[in-house]
Chains A and B, each alone.
Chain A
Amino acid sequence: KAGVTQTPRYLIKTRGQQVTLSCSPISGHRSVSWYQQTPGQGLQFLFEYFSETQRNKGNFPGRFSGRQFSNSRSEMNVSTLELGDSALYLCASGSGSGGTEAFFGQGTRLTVV
C-alpha cells in the first residue's frame, strides 16, 4: 500500500506570492488533515477534510485555505505569503474515525524569502 505523498518536497517563494501544496492520501482513506510545523510553535493543526468537506479548522488566518477532491486528494493554498509562513507543512491521512492512527507524509518544506 503506497503511503501518503506530498508534493513538492521543497519550495522557495517570495513574500507576497501564493503557493499550493498537494497531498495524496493512502488509498481508501477519506480524511486528510494539514499541519504546520515550526521549531517555535511545534505541530499546529490547520484543517481537516473528510469526503470533500472541511470538518475541522485550526486558528490560522484566512490566507490559509484548502480543498479536497472526490478522489480524496487534497490541496492547501497560502496566499500573500509572509516570512513567518516558512515551515514544514505536513499532511496526514486517516480513515476518518476519531482516534484512529494518522499516517503522515514526509512534508513540504516551504521557505519564504
Chain B
Amino acid sequence: TQLLEQSPQFLSIQEGENLTVYCNSSSVFSSLQWYRQEPGEGPVLLVTVVTGGEVKKLKRLTFQFGDARKDSSLHITAAQPGDTGLYLCAGVPGGGYQKVTFGTGTKLQVIP
C-alpha cells in the first residue's frame, strides 16, 4: 500500500504570512497532484507535477516535486483568507492505470 503523509496536519496563520506544506512517501510516483477542498465542496485540482525536481508556480503558490519523485511541497507566499481550505496531495503510480493515492491532508486557516 502506498502511503502519503502530509505535514503539518493543521495550520492556522495570519494573513500575509508564508507557509509550506509537505507531502512525503516511501514510494515513487510517476506524477503528483495537489488539490484544494473547501467546506461543502469536492477537491479541485491545483497542479500536476511530473518530472523529478520540477517546480511549478500558480500565482502565490509554488509546487515542487522531489528529485526522487517520492515527495512534494507546496509553498504559499503572503497567504490570504481565500487560501483557507484542505490541501491534499495525490500520488499517481506508474505502470499503467492504477488508483491514485491521496495524502492525509493539511487543513489551512488564514486569519484576516
Contacts and interface: CB of A to CB of B under 8 A. Distances in A.
Interface string A1-43: 0001000000000000000000000000000010100000011
A104 B45 CA distance: 9
A4 B99 contact: no
A84 interface: no
Given A42-B105, A43-B88, A90-B42, A102 B100 contact: yes
A24 to B, nearest CB: 14
A24 B54 CA distance: 35
B40 interface: yes
A64 to B, nearest CB: 15
Interface string A40-76: 0011010010000001101100000000000000000
A111 interface: no
Contact of B92 (A35, A55, A56, A98): A98
Nearest to B41: A106
A105 B42 contact: yes
A90 B45 CA distance: 14
Interface residues of A, number: 24
A4 B43 CA distance: 12
Contacts of A107: 41-42
A103 B43 CA distance: 8
A13 B26 CA distance: 39
B99 A56 contact: yes
Contacts of A81: none
Contacts of B40: 106
Interface string B52-71: 00000000000000000000
A97 B99 contact: no
Contacts of A106: 40-42
Interface of B: 1, 30-31, 33, 40-45, 48, 88, 90, 92-93, 96-105
19 contacts: A4-B42, A33-B100, A35-B102, A42-B88, A42-B105, A45-B99, A45-B101, A48-B99, A55-B97, A90-B42, A97-B97, A98-B92, A99-B31, A102-B45, A103-B45, A105-B42, A106-B41, A106-B42, A107-B42
